[in-house]
C-alpha cells in the first residue's frame, strides 16, 4: 500500500494534477484501507467497490483529455447513510427503511457528481440521526479509531471514524444538534455545520426539518472549505435554501487573524460538567490564537442554559411529525403479522423503529398534543428566539465565538446506553448553533493524557462560514493536531 492515504483532498488533487498518482490509484488505495481496517472500526454500511473503480478509470480518461470537472474530479468521498440515492440503498441506520432505494438523488449527491467526486460508500449512523454515539444503528456499532473500546460520537459517527482512520479523505455528515461537530471532536477531525439554508436539504431524510443541516468532515479546515464550496449554493427544490451564490470559502483562508475578535462565554469554560483536560486544551487553543494576533472578549449567552431542554422539545416534536410517514405502505419494512390496517401500522413501527426513535416520537407527540402544546412546544420556540437574540447581541462585540465542542472526550461503548439523559448532555455546547441557525466549526485542539482528541468549536454570524474557517485554518497552520493519526491505522 502506498502513502496516498496520508494526503487530504487538496493534497490528493495536487498528486493527480502533477501525474504522481492516478485517480484509480487513489480510489484503489482507499478501498484497500477500508478492507483492511473497517472490520475493526465499523464505519461503512455499504460499499461501491467496482462502481467506484470504474468511475476512477473514467476520471483518469477525462483528465487525460483536459476535461476534469473540478480539482476534485476522481477523488473518493464517503456519505452518511441518510441521503436519497437512485443508485444505492438509503436506510438511515433503521430496519424500517431496509431495502429502500429512492427514485431521485439528493442535491448534495448531484453536486458531488457534478464536481467529479466518487462516492465509495455510505457510513453508519444513529438511527434517523437520533443519538450521540452511533450505538443506535440497527446494523452495527462504530468504534473510535483512537480507542476502539470507545464511541466515535454521533449521529455522524461512521463518517467521522472513516476520516479519522484515514480510510477516506472526506465524508458528508448531517448536524441537527451537533451531529457533525461532536463526532468530529471525539475523532480528531474537522467538521463544519454551515448556516441553515447554505446547503440544500433536498433529498436529506428529515429528522427535524428546522434544525437539520448537511456539512463536510475532513482532515483540515482548508479541505472543509474546498468541499463546502462544492456543496453550497441555492437550490430551487429546497424552499429553505438561501437564494444567493456561495462565496469562495477557500479564498478566505489567508492565515491572518490579526485583530479578529473571539468571543468567550466564560460559563462554557467552567462548571462541574466540563472535563478538566478538555478545559485545558481549549484554553491553550485560545492562547495560541491570541499569539497569532486574535483578541478575546467576554460575551454572555444567558439563555444557552436552556439550550438542551429547548432543543429536545423542538427536535422531538418535528421528528414525531416527520416519522409518521413510515407506516409500511409505500416503502421500506412492512410487518406481515397483522390482520387489520391499524395492526399493520402498529406492528411495522413497533418492529421497525429502535428504542431511541420510539422514545423521541413519544416525547414529540406528547409536547404537540392538545393541552400541552402551549406549555412545552410554544414555550420552547419562544426560548429559541431568546437564544438567537443572545447570539445577535454577542456578535456586536466579536467576530466568532469559541467554546469547547464537547464537555468530555469519547466515552466507553455501552457506558451511557441506559442513561439517555446523560448522553443528551454531550451536545450541550453544540445545540444552540442549530437553534439559532448559525455556522459552527469543530477542529482538533489537543489530546487528553489518555491520547483522546479534544475539539474546539468556533461559531460565526449567519452566512459567515468564511470567518470561522479562516480562524480554524490559521490555528492549523501553527499546530499539528489535525495531522496526527490514530496509532492502530498507521500502515
Task: Report the distance separating Cα 243 and Cα 233, nearest Å.
Answer: 8
> What distance, in Å, lies between the first and last C-alpha atoms of the chain?
8
SS3 429: coil
Residues 28, 85, 122, 155: which is the catalytic one? 155
Contact by Cβ (8 Å): 319, 360: yes
Helix (H, G, I), strand (E, B) or coil at 191: strand
The catalytically annotated residue of 85, 133, 179, 320 is: 179
Q: Which three cell numbers stand for residue 138?
A: 440497527
> Of the listed 22, 28, 80, 133, which one is catalytic?
80
Q: Pairing relation of β-strands 400-404 and 261-264? A: parallel
> CA 108, 48, 233 angle in degrees (round to 5)?
10
Residue 253, Ramachandran bin (φ over 0: left; ψ between -120 and 50: alpha; else beta): beta
Residue 294 to residues 225, 259, 290, 337, 468, Cα–Cα distance (Å): 21, 5, 5, 64, 13
Annotation says 179 is catalytic: yes
The DSSP output letter for 483 is: G
Query: What torsion, rounded to 10 degrees, do the Cα atoms 62, 67, 71, 72 define?
Result: -40
Cell triple for 99: 431495502
Q: Is 2 a catalytic residue?
A: no
CA-to-CA distance for 122 and 143, rounded, in angstroms? 16
Contact between 133 and 423 (Cβ < 8 Å):
yes
Q: Is 80 a catalytic residue?
A: yes
Local structure of residue 40 (DSSP, 8 states): H
Residues forming the active site: 80, 155, 179
Amino acid at each position: 500500500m502506498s502513502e496516498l492515504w496520508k494526503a487530504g483532498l487538496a493534497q490528493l488533487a495536487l498528486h493527480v494534477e502533477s501525474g504522481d498518482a492516478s485517480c484509480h490509484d487513489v480510489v484503489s488505495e482507499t478501498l484497500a484501507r477500508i478492507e483492511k481496517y473497517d472490520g475493526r472500526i465499523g464505519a461503512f454500511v455499504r460499499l461501491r467497490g467496482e462502481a467506484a473503480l470504474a468511475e476512477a478509470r473514467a476520471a483518469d480518461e477525462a483528465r487525460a483529455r483536459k476535461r476534469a470537472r473540478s480539482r476534485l474530479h476522481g477523488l473518493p468521498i464517503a456519505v452518511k447513510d441518510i441521503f436519497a440515492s437512485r443508485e444505492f440503498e438509503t436506510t438511515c441506520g433503521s430496519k424500517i427503511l431496509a431495502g429502500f432505494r429512492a427514485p431521485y438523488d439528493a442535491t448534495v449527491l448531484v453536486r458531488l457528481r457534478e464536481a467529479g467526486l466518487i462516492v465509495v460508500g455510505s457510513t453508519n449512523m444513529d438511527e434517523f440521526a437520533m443519538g450521540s454515539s452511533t450505538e443506535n444503528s440497527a446494523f452495527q456499532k462504530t468504534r473510535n479509531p483512537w480507542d476502539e473500546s470507545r464511541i466515535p460520537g454521533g449521529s455522524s459517527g461512521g463518517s467521522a471514524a472513516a476520516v479519522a482512520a484515514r480510510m477516506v479523505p472526506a465524508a458528508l455528515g448531517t448536524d441537527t444538534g451537533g451531529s457533525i461537530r461532536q463526532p468530529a471532536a471525539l475523532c480528531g477531525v474537522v467538521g463544519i455545520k454551515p448556516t441553515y439554508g447554505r446547503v440544500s436539504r433536498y433529498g436529506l431524510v428529515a429528522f427535524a426539518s428546522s434544525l437539520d443541516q448537511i456539512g463536510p468532515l475532513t482532515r483540515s479546515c482548508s479541505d472543509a472549505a474546498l468541499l463546502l464550496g462544492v456543496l453550497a449554493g441555492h437550490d430551487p427544490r429546497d424552499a429553505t435554501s438561501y437564494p444567493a451564490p456561495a462565496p469562495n470559502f477557500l479564498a478566505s483562508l489567508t492565515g491572518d487573524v490579526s485583530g479578529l475578535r473571539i468571543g468567550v462565554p466564560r460559563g462554557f469554560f467552567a462548571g462541574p460538567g466540563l472535563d478538566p483536560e478538555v478545559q485545558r486544551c481549549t484554553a491553550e487553543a485560545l492562547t495560541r490564537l491570541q499569539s497569532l494576533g486574535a483578541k478575546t472578549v467576554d460575551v454572555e449567552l444567558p439563555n444557552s442554559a436552556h439550550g438542551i431542554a429547548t432543543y429536545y422539545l423542538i427536535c422531538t416534536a418535528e421528528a414525531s411529525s416527520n416519522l409518521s410517514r413510515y407506516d409500511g405502505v409505500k416503502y421500506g419494512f412492512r410487518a406481515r403479522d397483522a390482520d387489520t390496517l391499524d395492526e399493520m401500522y402498529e406492528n411495522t413501527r413497533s418492529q421497525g423503529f429502535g428504542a431511541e426513535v420510539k422514545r423521541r416520537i413519544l416525547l414529540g407527540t406528547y409536547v404537540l398534543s392538545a393541552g400541552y402544546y402551549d406549555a412545552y412546544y410554544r414555550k420552547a420556540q419562544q426560548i429559541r428566539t431568546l437564544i438567537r437574540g443572545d447570539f445577535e447581541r454577542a456578535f456586536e462585540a466579536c467576530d466568532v465565538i469559541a467554546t469547547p465542542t464537547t464537555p468530555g472526550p469519547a466515552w466507553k461503548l455501552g457506558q451511557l446506553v441506559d442513561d439517555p439523559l446523560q448522553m443528551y448532555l454531550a451536545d450541550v455546547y453544540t445545540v444552540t448553533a442549530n437553534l439559532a441557525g448559525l455556522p459552527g466549526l469543530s477542529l482538533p485542539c489537543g489530546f487528553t493524557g489518555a491520547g483522546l482528541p479534544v475539539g474546539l468549536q468556533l461559531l460565526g454570524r449567519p452566512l459567515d462560514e468564511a470567518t470561522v474557517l479562516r480562524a480554524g485554518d490559521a490555528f492549523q497552520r501553527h499546530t499539528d493536531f489535525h495531522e496526527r493519526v490514530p496509532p492502530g491505522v498507521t500502515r
